[in-house]
Every structure is written in structure tokens, then in C-alpha cells.
A and B are shown apart, each in its own frame.
Chain A
């Protein structure tokens, strides 16, 4: 093997403390070195030309460049190598600037180290194998999980770019939490009014295939080549026959057996129902757990009234498998429930607020429904317990959030704003009412946000008290709210008619399960982890899986929508080429000697390792070995160190190369 050594002066950056000509001279006599030189700026055009010429003239097979950090110019020199006809992975960089000339003063010492560094690079390059970039085909279809505003936005953006979208929502209708909201801060425009057109657009979009009342149960594959299995739960309604007339719901004899979860349990729903009138698709679902038919086979009222024969009691769950190229996860959030939590849960619940036993102590979403014109009280503010109009109302912020003793240390970000909104809505509807807000800090960062809160305080005369509430208890029909005004420095007791808790936003209970299904990491709460908190906020660490909305951390609507569009554009970028190219630094198994203990599979952070059967000539499996999916592997090499029989090698950093470097120390 003929190797060329090129020592860069980097102006004076290297040559000030490293005797570059001497390094080049000494290296000339190392085994395998055919050509050795030094130059002022190796990365400059003449420098690169020098490399190219030397390669061609001396028929070099590999080159070592002693220059700045490979993080700076590895790519430059690899490109120079390509232009000279050398495989780019037969280029090694000895870091003579950042890790030598800049950190040592003594010329002799630095020169000696430089020689040793070049020697190590030389020994590595001798063992380097030519590698070619890995190409992976891309299926240009995206799976969006979650049909809230994040999912809707992402789906529309990708679909409008011309790619197919599969949108999966676990509830019977898309819309998510946003459809439950009454009005939105800071503009107080009606939430449904801005959302519903979007929902319809999704439904009608030719590129979007909508799966409601469905769940993603399995995801296999890797970026560009995922395969997702979607379970469509049985609605017991034949979709294309239903006209959405609603007769079945009206006639269902079961009226008060199940709470309406869309109304946050403040109202009931029949056994056959759509969550809300504007549901998309407007097709009902039969709740098997309460429907009489599933108890004793009787009733069948809905069948009788449905003249389109859309009811099918025997319908079963169906599975769909779809090839997709990317995934956007937009599964959203739920609210911290103050009820007593089972032991082992990281959440503790609120004993001091009665663990949810008082009916008029409600959470923010319940208040949204009470305030909503389409809600159970038709927008009138009434107490759930007795329907009286509360004359004194207390809002408590940071219930769960920012309270490590309750299991959560983060700020839920939106509560300051919606509490101000709630208080404002209350004052607008109950003019003689008194509204109190207990807060820790007011975090109103956002366009028009601070102004909004000031308006609640100044124009609507909401009483903001800075302090925590220590206890709520019922006394003679009133809720005694005991707290502290930390500004006045004294205890406060409010005998309220109703209390609204701004509960923390937490991930859905099954968020970790979905994360494991897809293979993305999540934090201790169950929020999905982004690849980099600053520079890659909408990508998960698994290539091809993007995040949008509150499944990643608490977010308000504008943030969610922008994140959804960002995720969508990431997916569109991915789809803009037919094939993906990636660095060939991936691990590979020697199947002959792999013993199939699958410790590698256990340690692989990306699930890139699969089980492969090795068969004898008769087709009988006699051995299972590890197989590394090159599309998924990110080349960390954790498997190589874990492998006991050393059957895995990481291309570009294989063991022989590292041993050679050690030998040249």
C-alpha cells in the first residue's frame, strides 16, 4: 500500500509550535509511506491540488493529512481524495492543530506528539477499508399519529405538498383537545370556528387517508421504509352507509349510563354516539360495554331507526398494514388528575384538595366545556353539583406543575394564559361574580400574552393572589380555599362556590407504549425526546420519526401548529429525493461466528438489530444470528463492544483499525 502524508502549516497556526517540515521528513521513513510533504494551507485550492497531483503522480492508495480537527476539514480532504480517485474512507486526519499545536508550547514536545499522531493515523489508514455510501429507497407516504391540531396541521402540510398521508386518531373523531375549547387566548376567538374547517379539509383531502377510532399497534423498518400496522377498532357502523343523520343516537334508550368524555364527564352520552355534533367523520360508534344488544341481544332500536342499514353489530376490529417513509407523532397530552394515584406512579395526587371528591372542584378542560356555548350548560357558568351560578370562583394555577412533591417539576406553559382567559370569560358571563387566581409566577411570554393577562387584572378586575393553596374543604356548601398571599405575607381564606384547577399537562398514559412501538426515546414523564433540544427540536432520535405538539412537551396552539408545520417540512425534505444517502459508518455482523446471544440487540439504542435465521441445506433453522439493518444503524458501535465473540465490526472504526492505532501510540 502506498500512502501519502500531507502536513499542513495552517498559516502559522500549526507551524508555530510544530516543526512541520520535520514531521513530514520523519514520516517519510515510516513503513508504507510513499510520499510526504508539507504545505502552508492544505485546505486551500492549491493545497487540495497538491494532494490530487501527488496521488496521481505517485499512485497513492491512501492519504493521511496532518491538519486541523477532522470536524473541520475531514469532508474537504475526502472530497479531494474522491477527485483524485481514492475512496474517501481511505483518508485519515491527524489532528495537529486543536489537539497539538494550540495546546502545547514546547516546539520539540509538540513536534514529537505530531509525529506520533500522524503515525497513529498512518497505522489506521493502512487498515481502512474502502466504503461506499449506503443508499436506501424512500416510500413517499407519511403516517401521522394523532388527529389533534398538530396532526391535522402536519397532515395538511404534507398532503398539500403532494404526498400521501395516513392520519390515525384513536378517538371516533379528529379534533383533539382543541375542539373542546371554548375560546382561545389571547384573541378570544371561538376555537371550534377556526378548527372545524381544517377538520373538514382533512376529511375531504384526496391525499389524506383518515383512520379514526384506530390505533397504531406495530411499527417495523427504518427511515424511508417503515411498515406500520394500524388497528381499526370496530365502530359497529358501516362507514359508507352512514349518512350521519343522528337518528340512532336520539333513539338509543340508554341515556345515562356513560359519561361523555368529550364533555369531560360533565354530561352523559347514549350507547351509540358521536363525541360531539361537529365530529369528523360524522359517523357514530357503539359502546359495547353499555349497549343492551351486547348484554342480552335485545333492543336493536338503532337498527330499527336506521333506514340505510348502517348498523353492524358483528363488525370486528380490522388490521391494516401500510408502507410508509416517515412518521409524525402528534399524540398530544392529557391533564393531571388530582385523584389519588396508585403507589408506584410518579404522580402523587392532591390530598389537600380532597383527591377529587368535591364535584365543584374542576379542572381547566371541564371549565372550558362549561364556558363553551356548545357545552353541557350551553355556555352558562354553573356548578356541576347543583347547577347554581357560582358567585365566587377560585382559580388555582400550577396544580401539579412545578411541584416536585407531586411528581412534576416542569412548567406546563399554557396554564397562566388559559387561567387568565377563564377568569375573563367568567367575569364576562357572571358580572357580579368575584374571581380569584392563586398563582406562583405569571409566565405570559408570547405575542399579546402579557397584555391579555393585564386586561384580566385591570379591566375585568380579577383578583390575582401570589401564593399557593394549602387546603380545600367543603363547609356548608362552600369550598373553603385556604392559601397564602405571599406578597401581603398573610393567610387568605376564600369561601368559594367553585374552584378551577389549572392542572399540569402530562403525556397520555400509553405514551411510553407507543414510544416503544415506534422505537423512540421518552423522558421520565413520558414526553418524547427530541434529537437535539435546540437544533433538532422536531426530530426524534430515530431517523424518519418526527414530533409535533404537546407529546414532546407542553405547548400552546401557536407553538403546536408551527411545530407541526416544521415536522411536515422535515418529512417533505426527506421525500424530496428518491433515495437516501447515508454515511457507511454502520455495524456489520459476521454471521459465521455470531453465536446469537443477542446482547447486541439488547444494547442497540435504535432497535437496528434483528434476528436472522440461518438454515441448513434442508431448510431447517440451525442457528439464529444477529442481523443489523443498515438503514436503522447509526454507527455508535455499542454492539461491537458488547459482543462477546467479537462478531460485529463497525465500518470505519473496526477493531483492527483501533488496535493499529493503539500499537502506534
Chain B
């Protein structure tokens, strides 16, 4: 932890970066994102199993980006990112939201994080993305800290649930999701925490024409959740923030993961894994399946 603080403080002192986006400890089992611009403030930086936020979401905020332009010469932004968060960064680079050269990625060998604030890190409270994590080492980084760690093995309940839903009848599936979506209060926390939901004006905020009814009756909720899932399919890197942020505990991860599984199955594509592989959205292959079409 000390090396991280020292490193971050040096970066700021050397004026190599305009700010460090990192985690600070709030209480025992809670951390909070922090945008640190003062080298002295780096003393509160932490990284451990309780750093569950995906900080790359801050890279899309105009306010944060503007920090780079506060002095005469444009500076980089340093971000502490878990290996899985690096996937989001990769996706953001591919979608032209940030440039690789403008950021300084401080990453860690990750041993998994807890699923929500206030919980004790253990096998049972492991975030579901960590259970099936395949990227404990970052694919891109400028500085790597920590030794390789083991993520405790745990049951992949999310996958079991997906399989369970898959085996339901169409009506049962509809009922299941109707019940889940019914809970939605349209607070859009899922959108706010998602690094890839970076649109200044979301489709749901558009009124002429009205794309998605902003009412939170069932139909509006359905539209919102379907469109959210669709817009993220083949883009979502599986950070799981939406599901965590949802105050009504709607299992958004189930849908995201199903679509990710489909992308992998049909197109051998996993989002955010490499800057070289073109994104699935926006590309095509003449050999894509024609199965759907009469």
C-alpha cells in the first residue's frame, strides 16, 4: 500500500499526471472513489479486496477529463484499476472515449473483491464477476503492483441461475423478468455506474421522439431494461457495477452475462480484452450466421 501511495504521490509531484483516480478507505469494510490532485492526499489511497468500484467510469466524465487541461500542457490521468476494470478501459479506448496515451493505468494483481459495501471479504461474499474471473492479471498497464493472488473458489450461482432461466418456458421467463423489471424505479443508477453508458444524453432522455417511456410502469421498465441490455450486448465487459448499484436488486448481471456468453459462443468475442481485436458492434463478417433469416 505504501508503494502505491509513494508512486501516486511521485506521479503528482512530477506533474506527470493531473490527478489520480483511486480508492480511499471510509470505514472498515468500505472504500470510496477519490479524485486526488494533491500529492499529500495520496496518503489515504488504498487497494484491497474492498475496492469494488470500477473507477473507469470516471474517465468518461467531462468534469474529470477537464482536469487534464487545468495547466498549460495537457496532462495524463492516472487511474487505479483492477484487471477487470482494465477491460472497461480497453472498451473505452476502442470507443474513442479516451486515448491510451492520455491515461496512466496503475493496476494490481487481483485476488477478488467483495460484492458490496459493508460485507466481510470471504468466499461467500465474493463478487459474482470474481467467481468466474479469467483475468487476474491486467491486459494493459503502466504500473503493476502486488503479487499474484488466488481468488477463493466459489459456486458460480449466476451461471446456475442463467441455466435455470434457460430451461424455463418462454412464459416463465417472461414472468420472471416482468417481476424483476417491475421493481425498477428508473433511478438509472445502473446507467450512472456503467463505464460504457457514457452518452451525455441517453436514449431514454430523448423525448422527440420518445424512445423509451420514462414512466416506470411495466412497459417503460421493460423498454428501458431491454434497451439497456441491448446497447451493452457485446460491449459490456462484465464489471457487474450495474447490478451492484441497483437499489432494487434487479439481477442485471444475468442479462449482461447471457449476452456476453452469446457473443463468445457465436463470434468468439469477449469485450475489452484487446485493443487489436475490432469491436463486435460496428464490424461484421460475411460468414455470420444466416440462421435467423427466412
- Chain A residues near B (Cβ < 8 Å): 593, 595-599, 602-603, 620, 622, 624, 642, 644-647, 655-656, 659-660
Contact = CB atoms under 8 A, between A and B. Distances in A.
Given A599-B281, A599-B282, A646-B206, A593 B97 contact: no
B169 interface: no
A587 B65 CA distance: 29
6 contacts: A595-B200, A599-B279, A642-B281, A644-B203, A655-B209, A660-B209
B282 A645 contact: no
B201 interface: yes
Contacts of A599: 95, 279, 281-282
A645 B199 contact: yes
B113 to A, nearest CB: 28
A655 B210 CA distance: 10
A593 B200 CA distance: 6
Given A593-B201, A644-B199, A645-B202, A602 B283 contact: yes
Contacts of B202: 645
Contacts of A659: 209-210
Interface string B176-212: 0000000000000000000000111111001011110
Given A602-B282, A645-B203, A620 B97 contact: no
A590 to B, nearest CB: 9
Nearest to B286: A524
B231 interface: yes
A597 B198 CA distance: 9
A273 B281 CA distance: 51
Interface residues on B, range: 20 to 34
Describe B's contact surface by its main secondary structure: loop
Interface string B87-121: 00000000111000000000000000000000000
A68 to B, nearest CB: 27
A602 B96 CA distance: 12
B292 interface: no
B279 A602 contact: yes
Contacts of B62: 622
A281 B121 CA distance: 79
B177 to A, nearest CB: 22
A645 B203 CA distance: 5
Contacts of A620: 69
A598 B96 contact: yes
Contacts of A602: 278-279, 281-283
Contact of B97 (A597, A603, A622): A597
A398 B205 CA distance: 62
Residue among A596, A602, A647 with the highest chain B CB neighbour number at 10 A: A602
A624 B62 CA distance: 12
B269 to A, nearest CB: 14
B66 interface: yes
Nearest to B197: A644
Given A596-B96, A602-B283, A624-B96, A645 B209 contact: no
B88 to A, nearest CB: 14
B96 A597 contact: yes
Residue among A599, A622, A647 with the highest chain B CB neighbour number at 10 A: A599
A593 B198 CA distance: 11
A646 B96 contact: no
A467 B203 CA distance: 64
Given A602-B279, A622-B69, 17 more contacts: A595-B200, A597-B95, A597-B96, A598-B96, A599-B279, A602-B278, A602-B281, A622-B66, A624-B96, A642-B281, A644-B231, A645-B203, A646-B203, A646-B211, A655-B209, A655-B211, A659-B209
